[in-house]
């Protein structure tokens, strides 16, 4: 669940991105897992879903390397794009923190490789 004000917009990184709609100081919690809107999906359950639905989900889910499950954010947090120099960091305790000051209008990014693994890992459910 996003904790800060955000908006969606065209990303210079990839497709649609998530942008700060307020200034976000370093250390601010940006997102936290909320079981009311975010879900973990075991790999075994994904294989039971029709292929066309799997392809749709693969656009928005990430493999959580720690929990060994896929995470689907139920809000616009699914539009965080990857950066090798991100402004946010995903922690092991299901939160995302701003790791530097972020200006209103700046795209929010995380390093997918640190917490979620290589995007190629999606291929293993097909």
pLDDT of 91: 78
Residue 15 has pLDDT above 90, yes or no: yes
pTM: predicted TM-score of the whole model, two decimal places: 0.86
* Parallel, antiparallel or unpaired: strands 6-10 and 16-20: antiparallel
Domains of the chain by residue range: 6-116
Which three-class secondary structure string do you get for 17-85?
EEEECCCECCCCEEEECCCCCCEEEEHHHHCCCCHHHHHHHCCCEEEECCCCEEEECCCHHHHCEECCC
Q: pLDDT tens digits for 67-82?
A: 888 899 999 999 999 9
Topology of domain 6-116 in CATH is Beta-clip-like (2.170.270)
pLDDT of 118: 54
Cα distance between residue 118 and residue 29, in whole Å: 25
Cα distance between residue 86 and residue 20, in whole Å: 14
How much is the average pLDDT of 20-25? 99
Percent with pLDDT over 90 in the chain = 63
Looking at per-residue pLDDT, the higher value among 52 and 83 belongs to 83
């Amino acid at each position: 669940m996003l904790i800060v004000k955000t908006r969606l917009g065209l990303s210079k990184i990839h497709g649609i991105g998530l942008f700060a709609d307020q200034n976000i100081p370093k250390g601010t919690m940006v997102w936290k897992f909320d079981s009311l809107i975010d879900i973990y999906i075991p790999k075994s359950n994904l294989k039971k879903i029709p292929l066309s639905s799997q392809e749709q989900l693969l656009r928005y889910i990430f493999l959580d390397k720690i929990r060994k499950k896929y995470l689907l954010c139920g809000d616009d947090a699914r539009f965080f794009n990857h950066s090798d120099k991100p402004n946010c960091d995903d922690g092991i305790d299901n939160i995302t923190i701003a790791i530097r000051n972020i200006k209103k209008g700046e795209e929010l990014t995380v390093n997918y490789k640190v917490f979620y693994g290589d995007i190629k890992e999606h291929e293993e459910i097909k």
